[in-house]
Amino acid sequence: MGHPEAEVVLKTHNLPKLDYVIKESGIDLGLDIRDLRMLKDFYFDARYPGENYIRVSKEEANECIAIVDYVKRKVANFIESEGYCKICGSKLLSTGKCSNFDCDGNL
């Protein structure tokens, strides 16, 4: 059975909480909690106007892009190491091809 908070946290943009639930489920992707907090904070405070609205500098935006790329690589490497397709997430066949025949990974 999955983590009791997984269903709720998957529908949020709370990356630190999502990382916590993943770790509690036995998977440690080795992500930096400070980086995840930075992405979460900028996501809300820079996207939605209001009391906490902030402007993000070009340097901060580039740092966030680098963090996102790093997180994507970590997740993709984990998915591949567990025998799942990096494109659609379906289980790979023993041939290394995706079991989802509609997946672009089979082209």
Sequence spans of domains, the chain: 6-106
pLDDT beyond 90 at 2: no
Digit-coded pLDDT (tens) for 26-35: 889 899 999 9
Digit-coded pLDDT (tens) for 4-16: 787 888 888 788 9
What pTM was estimated for this model as a whole? 0.72
Joined tokens for residue 7: 């269903």
Residue 65, pLDDT score: 93
Chain-wide mean pLDDT for the chain?
Answer: 84
Q: Which of 93, 67, 89 is closest to 80 using CA atoms?
A: 89
For the chain, the 3-state helix, strand and coil shares in percent, each to the nearest 5, are 50, 5, 45
Q: Contact 88/103 with Cβ under 8 angstroms?
A: yes
Burial profile 76-104: b = 16 or more Cβ within 10 angstroms, e = fewer = eeeeeeeebbeeeebebeeeeebebeebe
Residue 3, pLDDT score: 73
